[in-house]
Amino acid sequence: MRKIALASVAVALIFSLKSCGEPYEPAQDVVDSFLEEVQEKEGFDAIKRLHPSFRDNLAKDLKLPVQFTELKPSEALACLLSTMGANMDDYEITGGKMIGESTAIIKARVVDKDGIEKLFSFVLIKEDDRWLIADISPYTPDMKK
């Protein structure tokens, strides 16, 4: 009987430790995968992590050279992301937080081949149990501390 009680406590402890992770971790994993795919010049995989409306707005705003005009907008965006990855040296996820139940902000630091560091804020929304990037913007950290 004592062994059963001990085993039950051990199982409960394992489940409680697993649930101690931050609620934004799945969104953070999406940003990490997106940046890795950009860095590896896998633009077609990276655009799958963008929310369709954000992806379409990015593609619409592209100024394309003549040789790209026959590509679909999403294909041109994938090519652009792959090109950006050629200049990316390293990246690091620096933090995150939840804003409501289905929105998260993830911050990342990206270093290019020239050693220039850029900071970005990714806004993700959860739709149908899947996190998608809805916005990417440069950010300036709060220096008032």
Query: Residue 65 burial by CB count (10 A; 0-12/13-18/19+): exposed, middle or buried?
Result: exposed
Classify residue 8: in a domain, yes or no. Answer: no
Q: Residue 105: pLDDT above 80?
A: yes
Token digits for 9?
């406590």
pTM of the model: 0.77
- Is 98 part of a structural domain of the chain? yes
Residue 16 lies in a domain: no
Q: Which domain holds residue 97?
A: 24-138
> For residue range 69-95, what is the model confidence (pLDDT) as tens digits?
566 777 878 888 888 888 899 999 999
Tell whether 5 is covered by a domain: no
Q: How far apart are CA 18 and CA 12, in angstroms?
A: 10
In a domain? residue 130: yes
**Is 11 inside any structural domain?**
no
List, for residues 40-62, the tens digit of each pLDDT value: 999 999 999 999 999 888 877 77
Count the domains in the chain: 1
Instruction: Output the domain CATH number for residue 88.
Output: 3.10.450.50
Round to whole Å and give the CA distance between 8 and 79. Answer: 53
